[in-house]
C-alpha cells in the first residue's frame, strides 16, 4: 500500500475532470513563496510524504498563512519533519467541508462514502455508502441520507451548496473507481463546497 504521488494524483484529476483547489508541490522556499504570492494569501502549507498518511496528526498542516514572514517560518518548520518529500502550497478554501471516499471491497468492489468533512467524519461518523456504479438517483439519496444534510442545504439564511455539482462529483469518483482498478482507497477530506462549486482541498489516493 502506497500513496499515489502528487504528480500522478494531479494527472488523475485532469483525466477524470475532478475539480481541485489549486495546489503545487515545492522543494524550495523561494519558488514556493513566489507561487503563494501569485495565487495570493492566505494560503495553506502541507507536507507531502508517501509514508505519512495523516498529516494533521503530526502537525504537518498549516492553515491561514497571511504573509511572507509566517510563510517562511511555516515552510522551515514543515521541512524539518522526517521523510518529507515536498511542501504543498495551496490557496485557502472557504465553504462547507465535505468528505468523499472510496474503498475497494473484496465482495462488492468499489464502495463510495460521503459525509460532512473535516473532523466531523471521525467524531460523528455520519457517513452514507453506495456501491459502484452509482446512478444519479442513488447519488442524490446518499447525499440526503446523512444526518448533516440540513447543514448542506443551509440553515438560518445560509446558502445551500450546489447539489448538482456534488452529484456530478460523486458520479465522477464512481467512474474513476471502476476504471482505475489499481487504486485501493481514496480519501478526499475535505472537499470544500459553496453555492457555486466544490473543490478538492485534501486528497489521498492509495494504490
For residue 66, the minimal CB distance to another protein (Å) is 29
Among 121, 161, 192, 199, binds another protein (CB under 8 A): 121
Among 65, 187, 193, 200, binds another protein (CB under 8 A): 187
Which residues between 23 and 82 bind another protein (CB under 8 A)?
53
Distance, CA of 200 to CA of 169 (rounded, Å): 10
Nearest approach, Cβ of residue 56 and another protein (Å) = 12
Q: Is 113 in the site for another protein (CB under 8 A)?
A: yes
Q: What is the dihedral of CA 47, 49, 53, 56, to 10 degrees?
A: -20
How many Cα atoms occupy the beta-carbon half-sphere of 183 within 13 Å?
Answer: 24
Nearer of residues 36 and 171 to another protein, judged by Cβ = 171
CA distances from 31 to 75, 87, 114, 155 (A): 12, 11, 36, 42
Residues in the chain: 207
Residues that bind another protein (CB under 8 A): 1, 53, 99, 101-103, 105, 107-109, 111, 113, 115, 121-122, 125, 127-131, 138, 185-187, 189, 204, 206
Amino acid at each position: 500500500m502506497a500513496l499515489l504521488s502528487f504528480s500522478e494524483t494531479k494527472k488523475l484529476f485532469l483525466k477524470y475532470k475532478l475539480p481541485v483547489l489549486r495546489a503545487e508541490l515545492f522543494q524550495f522556499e523561494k519558488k514556493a513563496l513566489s507561487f503563494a504570492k501569485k495565487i495570493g494569501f492566505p494560503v495553506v502549507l502541507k507536507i507531502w510524504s508517501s509514508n505519512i498518511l495523516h498529516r494533521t496528526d503530526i502537525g504537518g498542516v498549516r492553515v491561514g498563512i497571511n504573509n511572507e514572514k509566517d510563510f517562511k517560518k511555516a515552510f522551515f518548520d514543515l521541512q524539518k519533519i522526517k521523510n518529507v518529500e515536498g511542501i504543498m502550497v495551496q490557496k485557502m478554501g472557504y465553504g462547507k467541508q465535505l468528505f468523499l471516499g472510496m474503498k475497494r471491497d473484496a465482495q462488492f468492489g468499489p464502495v463510495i462514502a460521503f459525509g460532512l468533512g473535516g473532523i466531523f467524519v471521525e467524531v460523528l461518523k455520519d457517513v452514507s455508502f453506495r456501491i459502484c456504479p452509482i446512478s444519479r438517483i442513488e447519488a442524490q439519496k446518499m447525499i440526503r441520507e446523512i444526518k448533516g444534510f440540513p447543514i448542506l442545504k443551509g440553515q438560518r439564511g445560509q446558502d445551500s451548496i450546489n447539489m448538482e455539482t456534488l452529484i456530478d462529483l460523486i458520479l465522477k469518483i464512481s467512474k474513476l473507481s471502476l476504471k482505475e482498478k489499481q487504486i485501493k482507497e481514496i480519501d478526499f477530506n475535505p472537499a470544500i463546497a459553496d453555492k457555486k462549486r466544490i473543490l478538492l482541498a485534501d486528497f489521498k489516493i492509495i494504490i
